[in-house]
Structure 1
């Protein structure tokens, strides 16, 4: 799966869904003052911990690649006809 032109919106959706997930999972919750970078890294690590996404290689761990992983994760959770999945 290549980069989706809606990847930024998919990352926002992943963070919204992920916030609910980490809270229900007991990992804590996102605060309004948390940076985007912190939220991305926190959700990425929570999903890796629960084996819901495959971890990046150690040398590849950075925010843009974590965002891409989150976009891929949420794209698999959304229905096929979701507007963010159009024109991939």
Structure 2
């Protein structure tokens, strides 16, 4: 288990949780949280942050999403015209 990745709980910085258990932990820990409201990342629901704009500059899931979107957009531009398009 020493090689499994750990992350810090966004609601309680003393909690170190296995990344694969973080979604369940966040839901449980959110119930007893008394600080400022945290926003949920659209690309990974386990990400809870105060400043979403700053978070998106660092979020790996957001970057992966944008790479995939750009990949498919590049195909849209390259489609040959068909007789229906004219």
TM-score w.r.t. structure 2 length? 0.31
Bigger radius of gyration: 2
Larger % of helix: which? Answer: 1
Larger % of strand: which? Answer: 2
TM-score w.r.t. structure 1 length? 0.31
Say which structure, 1 or 2, has more relative contact order (CA 8 Å, 6+ apart): 1
